[in-house]
Amino acid sequence: MNNRRTKWHYLLVLLLLSVINSVYADSQPEIVFESFWIMDAPDVARNTAGYGVIKNKGDTADTLINIRCDMAMVMLHKTAIQSGMAKMIHQSNSVIEAHAELLLAPMSFHLMFMAITPANFSEGKLITVQFEFEKSGVIEVNIPVKANNY
């Protein structure tokens, strides 16, 4: 009898926990970094770019508010054609909607690393980048440097 009551109690707690958990999970963004890489910089380069996909698998939008890197200045750029010229425009406070993604690719959005030491951005190196989101906080990603295959 006592044992059965304990069992019911246990099941009730489990049920409550799963309800709380799903309510909590549904109201959060879920930021995931996929396929990120940084372009190998030639010896004379002062800048290089990084590409990949930032996905938000959660049910709430989040905003990328800051990017930091100990090895270089870094910001989010978008390449746009203006009067027939490719220009790079700094993007601040980029919103990533729920169940949406921000694709960073050549001639579009990219991470711009500036004032680099080329030896630090050579093939095989890992560059640690901290992405700060309004809701998700700081997410640190180790991004590999790869040869430019374009």
CA distance 129 to 149: 22
* Residue among 52 and 77 whose Cβ is closer to Cu ion: 77
Where in 84-103 is the site for Cu ion (CB under 5 A)?
88
Q: Which of 37, 58, 77, 143 binds Cu ion (CB under 5 A)?
A: 77
* Residue among 40 and 58 whose Cβ is closer to Cu ion: 40
Determine the Cα angle at 108 with ends 106 and 112, to 5°. Answer: 75
Residue 31 found at the interface with Cu ion (CB under 5 A): no
54, with CB counted inside 10 A (0-12, 13-18, 19+), is buried
Task: Measure CA 23 to chain center.
Answer: 24
The window from 10-18, 34-42, 77-85, 141-149 that contacts Cu ion (CB under 5 A) reads: 77-85
The window from 11-19, 29-37, 75-83, 141-149 that contacts Cu ion (CB under 5 A) reads: 75-83
Residue 53 found at the interface with Cu ion (CB under 5 A): no
Residue 112 found at the interface with Cu ion (CB under 5 A): yes
Contact residues for Cu ion, defined by CB under 5 A: 77, 88, 112
